[in-house]
A and B are shown apart, each in its own frame.
Chain A
Amino acid sequence: MNYVERDATRSLAEALPHSRGRVTDIAARGEPYTWALGGALALGIVMIVGFLALVLYNGATTFIPKPITVVTLADGAVVAGEPFRSESYRPGPAVLEKLAPEVRARIAANDGYAGRTLYRIGNYDIYNEDFRWVSDFEVARMGHPTDLIYAERLEWGPFIGRLKSVHVGGAVREAASMPETELARLHGEARARWQRLRGIERSEIGAVNHQIERERLAVRKAEIAHGAGSAEARQRAAEAAIRIAELQREYDRLAAEARRLREQDRAVRVTLAAIGGEEKELALSALVRFYPANAISLTGKAGIYLSRWWEFLSDEPREANTEGGVMPAIFGTFAMTLLLVIAVTPFGVITALYLREYARQGRLVSVIRISVNNLAGVPSIVYGVFGLGFFAYVLGGSIDQLFYPERLPNPTFGTGGLLWASLTLALLTVPVVIVATEEALAAVPRSMREGSLACGASKWQTIRNIVLPRAMPGIMTGIILAMARGAGEVAPLMLVGVVKLAPELPVDGFFPFVHLERSFMHLGFHIFDVGFQSRNSEAGKPMVFVTTVLLVGLIFLMNISAIAIRNRLKRKFAGSQF
């Protein structure tokens, strides 16, 4: 005993001078940790920046007009197209066998590799393919003739070739003899006429159809309410018949107008010739835009670039989504995210308020809290299944039974739609908001609450006047995170309302103007659809990048505005002195 004690004191005394050595251990200085942390940070930044740069670069360059190369092959065939990408590959023995010996020797000297280039040749209606590989050894001659045009069409994708002649009425004129400005004027007129035609067919006739449908449903409703054949139903039917006759006249008038326009449209036509001489005649209005790809000036290029972006942002998709615009998808994504925020905020904040401020902090609350946190780890597709089963079929089905019996068996709310998609995502993201709100509430200094209570405020008054405003920046952070997560989510949406092509926007001019039951388009799903579900994924690839840029940009914009709001709130609490 004694010995041990003495020994202990002695060793301590001896150890002391040594323990404060002059040279600090490298681990104690923490430098390896700093390096490791810095390295990890750098790696993370490089990955994020690299990803963003890749997406941005590809997205930004997609719409730049590219020159057209005409390649004459050794066997005499001619290929015209935009060079898309190049790579080296190893030609198979069957290919090699047919080659001239010196070419074969060159390939052999190159370890059996040869170069090849993918050309976007367009003219799908003629060639049955959009792209074609051309091996370097096949090429006899290459040129960039200035009379080639690149034309984007409403159907069949781009056309690459020559503009041969223009037909106006009965007259046929050689395109070469036609001043450029006149052609442009004709094209502008044709496009305007086509837009007008589409306007009549889509919105005006659509509106008439909508009203006729509404009359029909009103009759159905009266029949369901009063019984078929009852006096009320008959009266309603008679009223509807008058209205429908009126609407029918309106419809006929519009249809006649549309017919007239279509005839005019058909009278202005162009003949295009592919590089191999195959001719194609089509209405001038079917060309969205065309330009001489090899003779276009820099300002012309910029104009094409901007007009493509404008079309992309403001127009509807065509050609199975690989061309045209994504406006409905932008709108759908935005509307869904907005609804998601509107739904998730009260849910999350109220739950967190109860858990943090009112519930007795016991085992039950801990269990609930852990469960909520675990909810964030459930695969999102499971939420989609739940949303479809519960929201769409159970809730929506009941709503249909109660409020829209006249439309059955066609579902109104009883199928996927904007509302159900937003609620599903709200469910998916509510843990984020709950956790962030709880943190924010817990971070409100106790002294604030006590100060308020000591003034004679009730608990609710304290929460409303002091705690919530003070916690608002933290709550906003949660909402921002939820928003970012929700806007980028795709898998559950495929089950609860996102479609490849939505016929109507969820907001339009018909009462009640906002149609939450409608299915909608979404940028995330659009990426999936264009990139992996389309006829030609090679053609869709640039669109994938552009759409990704747009989605990232949209989320970025929404986040920026939310952050701006949060910072304004934060500034209110800054500058406190203690």
Chain B
Amino acid sequence: MAAIAEMQSSAPATEYHAKHGDQGPVIEVRDFNLWYGAAQALHDITMTIERGLVTALIGPSGCGKSTLLRCLNRMNDLVDGLTIRGTMLLEGQDIYDARTDVIALRKRMGMVFQKPNPFPMSIYENVIYPLRVDGIRDRRILDETVERALRGAALWEEAKDRLNESALGLSGGQQQRLCIARAIAGDPEVLLMDEPCSALDPIATLKIEELIDKLSGQYTIIIVTHNMQQAARVSDNTAFMYLGRLIEYGETEQVFTTPRLQRTLDYVTGRFG
């Protein structure tokens, strides 16, 4: 404990004024540090993610947003030479505990990537992939899930007549919505989205933003974005990161209008970054 306190004191303090949801935090990150080889990518991140709210991660390129997001579902386990120190809790359970079942953990967190990555299978098979890996074969459950997830991802109307066609025949925006449908098909508690709209046109982006709006409340969503308007539009809380540190973490409206730190203001108004 003393060591942690010492580390906290050595790091520049983070400004916290995040909104609290009415259901309490779902994820807690405490003094989280991460190194790729010898290079430190995250410094002393401490934050809580409120259940049912949308949290946006913003910050200049290379500041560690993706790294932080991928740490939450241990996607970074694939990277060689990774060192971490600190704690991450999902509902009080340590994500990095040796006894944690990584697969079960990932089933509780859907993830949408920057580039749409549908599998080379039919649309139907793509959506039910999380159920397939659970060994569910009941056609009725699968059909229901497909409809629910595709409706949830606002793709049902476009895809319902071509469920058995290859997912690779969809447009980029449709593919991304399919990936969202896939992420929510397994009914996760948390949805992690890493720049989900960066490859999309404004209309598709709008659809996905509406979708996030619709999904908030039902899911806890963490979204990484470079688009300030988007962050302002969809999120409840915004975390501003810079050079691997969490600079300011607060209610979105305040972060964008009256941030507490000059650096945040500079970034959100486009003066650097």
B103 near A454 (CB under 8 angstroms)?
A: no
Chain B residue contacts of A454, Cβ below 8 A? 73, 75, 106, 109-111, 113, 183
Q: How far does the alpha carbon of A446 sit from the alpha carbon of B78 in the complex, in Å?
A: 10
Given the interface pairs A573-B120, A577-B171, the reply to whether A456 lies near B134 with Cβ below 8 Å is: yes
**Is B80 in contact with chain A by the CB < 8 A criterion?**
yes
Q: How far does the alpha carbon of A276 sit from the alpha carbon of B111 in the complex, in Å?
A: 94
Residues 118 to 143 of chain B near chain A (Cβ within 8 Å): 118-120, 129-130, 132-134
**Is B168 in contact with chain A by the CB < 8 A criterion?**
yes
A466 near B169 (CB under 8 angstroms)?
A: no
B120 near A451 (CB under 8 angstroms)?
A: no
Considering only CB atoms and an 8 Å cut-off, how many residues of chain A contact the other chain? 27
A455 near B172 (CB under 8 angstroms)?
A: no
A456 near B103 (CB under 8 angstroms)?
A: yes
Chain A residue contacts of B75, Cβ below 8 A? 450, 453-454
Residues 553 to 578 of chain A near chain B (Cβ within 8 Å): 572-578
Q: How far does the alpha carbon of A347 sit from the alpha carbon of B116 in the complex, in Å?
A: 34
**Is B82 in contact with chain A by the CB < 8 A criterion?**
no
- Counting chain A CB atoms within 10 Å of each CB, the highest count among B75, B120, B179, B186 belongs to B120
**Is A405 in contact with chain B by the CB < 8 A criterion?**
no
Question: A244 to chain B: closest CB distance in Å?
Answer: 57
**Is B33 in contact with chain A by the CB < 8 A criterion?**
no
Given the interface pairs A447-B113, A576-B168, the reply to whether A455 lies near B186 with Cβ below 8 Å is: yes
Chain B residue contacts of A465, Cβ below 8 A? 119, 129, 132-133
The 0/1 profile, CB within 8 Å of A marked 1, for residues 158-200 of chain B is: 0000000010111110010001001100100000000000010
Chain A residue contacts of B119, Cβ below 8 A? 448, 451-452, 465-466
Considering only CB atoms and an 8 Å cut-off, how many residues of chain B contact the other chain? 35
Question: B64 to chain A: closest CB distance in Å?
Answer: 18
Q: How far does the alpha carbon of A164 sit from the alpha carbon of B188 in the complex, in Å?
A: 96
Contact of B106 among A445, A456, A573 (CB under 8 A): A456
**Is B260 in contact with chain A by the CB < 8 A criterion?**
no
**Is B263 in contact with chain A by the CB < 8 A criterion?**
no
Chain A residue contacts of B218, Cβ below 8 A? none
**Is A469 in contact with chain B by the CB < 8 A criterion?**
yes
**Is A162 in contact with chain B by the CB < 8 A criterion?**
no
Q: How far does the alpha carbon of A406 sit from the alpha carbon of B147 in the complex, in Å?
A: 67
The 0/1 profile, CB within 8 Å of A marked 1, for residues 78-114 of chain B is: 1010000000000000000000000110110111010
Question: A247 to chain B: closest CB distance in Å?
Answer: 55
Contact of A450 among B80, B110, B113, B199 (CB under 8 A): B113
Question: A446 to chain B: closest CB distance in Å?
Answer: 8
Given the interface pairs A447-B113, A455-B106, A470-B120, the reply to whether A577 lies near B133 with Cβ below 8 Å is: no
Given the interface pairs A450-B78, A469-B120, the reply to whether A456 lies near B113 with Cβ below 8 Å is: no
Chain B residue contacts of A469, Cβ below 8 A? 120
Contact of A451 among B109, B117, B132 (CB under 8 A): B117
B168 near A575 (CB under 8 angstroms)?
A: yes
Chain A residue contacts of B110, Cβ below 8 A? 454-455
The 0/1 profile, CB within 8 Å of B marked 1, for residues 418-456 of chain A is: 000000000000000000000000000111111111111
- Counting chain B CB atoms within 10 Å of each CB, the highest count among A456, A465, A572, A577 belongs to A456
Q: How far does the alpha carbon of A398 sit from the alpha carbon of B168 in the complex, in Å?
A: 53
**Is B115 in contact with chain A by the CB < 8 A criterion?**
yes
A578 near B199 (CB under 8 angstroms)?
A: yes
A451 near B168 (CB under 8 angstroms)?
A: no
B115 near A447 (CB under 8 angstroms)?
A: yes
In the complex, the chain B residue whose C-beta lies closest to that of A574 is: B168
Q: How far does the alpha carbon of A445 sit from the alpha carbon of B113 in the complex, in Å?
A: 13
Question: B254 to chain A: closest CB distance in Å?
Answer: 32
Q: How far does the alpha carbon of A69 sit from the alpha carbon of B42 in the complex, in Å?
A: 94
B103 near A575 (CB under 8 angstroms)?
A: no
Chain B residue contacts of A576, Cβ below 8 A? 118, 120, 168
The 0/1 profile, CB within 8 Å of B marked 1, for residues 465-477 of chain A is: 1100110000000
B120 near A456 (CB under 8 angstroms)?
A: no
Given the interface pairs A451-B119, A452-B119, A469-B120, the reply to whether A458 lies near B103 with Cβ below 8 Å is: yes
- Counting chain B CB atoms within 10 Å of each CB, the highest count among A452, A453, A470 belongs to A453
B133 near A575 (CB under 8 angstroms)?
A: no
B117 near A577 (CB under 8 angstroms)?
A: no
Chain B residue contacts of A452, Cβ below 8 A? 119, 129, 133
B117 near A445 (CB under 8 angstroms)?
A: yes
Q: How far does the alpha carbon of A126 sit from the alpha carbon of B119 in the complex, in Å?
A: 75
In the complex, the chain A residue whose C-beta lies closest to that of B114 is: A447
**Is A457 in contact with chain B by the CB < 8 A criterion?**
yes
A572 near B120 (CB under 8 angstroms)?
A: yes
Chain B residue contacts of A450, Cβ below 8 A? 75, 78, 111, 113, 117
Contact of A575 among B104, B106, B130, B169 (CB under 8 A): B169
Given the interface pairs A448-B117, A572-B166, the reply to whether A457 lies near B133 with Cβ below 8 Å is: yes
Q: How far does the alpha carbon of A457 sit from the alpha carbon of B104 in the complex, in Å?
A: 9
Q: How far does the alpha carbon of A451 sit from the alpha carbon of B110 in the complex, in Å?
A: 10
Question: B142 to chain A: closest CB distance in Å?
Answer: 14
Chain A residue contacts of B103, Cβ below 8 A? 456-458
**Is A461 in contact with chain B by the CB < 8 A criterion?**
yes
A455 near B113 (CB under 8 angstroms)?
A: no
In the complex, the chain A residue whose C-beta lies closest to that of B108 is: A456
In the complex, 15 of the A-B residue pairs with CB atoms within 8 angstroms, ordered by the A residue number, are A446-B78, A447-B115, A451-B118, A454-B109, A454-B110, A455-B130, A456-B130, A456-B186, A465-B132, A466-B119, A470-B120, A574-B168, A577-B169, A578-B115, A578-B199
Given A456-B130, A577-B168, 17 other A-B contacts at CB below 8 A?
A361-B80, A447-B115, A451-B113, A451-B117, A454-B75, A454-B111, A454-B183, A455-B129, A456-B103, A456-B107, A458-B103, A458-B133, A465-B132, A576-B120, A576-B168, A577-B170, A577-B172
Among all A-B residue pairs, the 5 with the closest Cβ atoms: A456-B107, A454-B111, A576-B168, A447-B117, A457-B133
Residues of B that sit less than 8 Å from A by CB: 73, 75, 78, 80, 103-104, 106-107, 109-111, 113, 115-120, 129-130, 132-134, 166, 168-172, 175, 179, 182-183, 186, 199
Residues of A that sit less than 8 Å from B by CB: 361, 445-458, 461, 465-466, 469-470, 572-578
